[in-house]
Amino acid sequence: MVPRVILVAGAVATATAAGFVTANSPAATQACRLTSVGKLHGHVSLTLNESATGVIPDTQHSITVSLSRKATNVSVHLAKQRSRVPGYYVFLGGSSGGSFAVDDTYAGEETSGTLTANGGPVRSLTAGLAGHPNTCLYQLAVSFWTRATFSGTLDGSRY
């Protein structure tokens, strides 16, 4: 029998959407026994809303970037792997299905624009989970590729 875990958490996404989160696991809080589990299956929903402002390196121009990314109902299938770090557990595998949305914006002195996407993943997904049983905390990573549409200006040129 394979234990079923429902994973619902916030996440971060890099340029094309790798997600990471640290959270209390509903299954792990039952005595933090993920170290004795061989496989995990469940669904994950990820949301990221972050922004940053800073100076572009080697220029005097500043830019503001806002990331807004969401993944819903992504099926995750993970198998336990041997950890090279004593005391830690690691699960790796893939994920499939679900829906994804991207609504990123950026604004600078001569640049502004949006990056948008909606729908399912373009490529198969990868996923991983790692943690330590003494803390009952884990880190979940889900990555996906999706097609996005850009509109805006770069260095004064319209796209």
Per the document, the length of the chain is 159
Q: What confidence tens digit (pLDDT) does each residue in 64-89 have? A: 999 999 989 988 899 999 888 887 88
Output the CA torsion 99→1→21→25 (10° steps). 130
Encode pLDDT of 99-151 as tens digits: 889 999 999 887 899 999 998 877 767 888 888 877 778 888 888 788 889 99
pLDDT band of residue 8 (cuts 50, 70, 90) is: very low
- 99 vs 82: CA distance, rounded Å: 31
- B/e letters for 69-95, b = 16+ CB within 10 Å, e = fewer, are bbbeebebbbebeeeeeeeebbbebeb
Considering only residues 79 and 21, tell me which one the structure prediction assigns the higher pLDDT.
79
Q: How far is CA 23 from the centre of its chain?
A: 13
Rounded Cα distance, 95 and 75, in Å:
5
- The label of the residue with tokens 């990471």 reads 20
pLDDT average, residue stretch 10-37: 46
pLDDT of residue 158: 65
pLDDT tens digits, one per residue of 36-56? 788 988 888 889 999 999 998
Q: Is the confidence at residue 59, as pLDDT, over 80?
A: yes
The verdict on residue 125 lying in a domain is: yes
Domain that holds residue 125: 7-158
32 within some domain: yes
Whether 2 is covered by a domain: the verdict is: no
Q: Return the H-helix or E-strand segment holding 113.
A: strand 112-119
- In a domain? residue 69: yes
Number of domains composing the chain? 1
CA atoms within 13 A on the CB side of 39: 10
Residue 17 within a domain: yes
Cβ(72)–Cβ(98) below 8 Å: yes
Question: Is 1 a member of any domain?
Answer: no
Confidence of residue 2 (pLDDT cuts 50, 70, 90): very low
CB atoms within 10 A of CB 149: 10
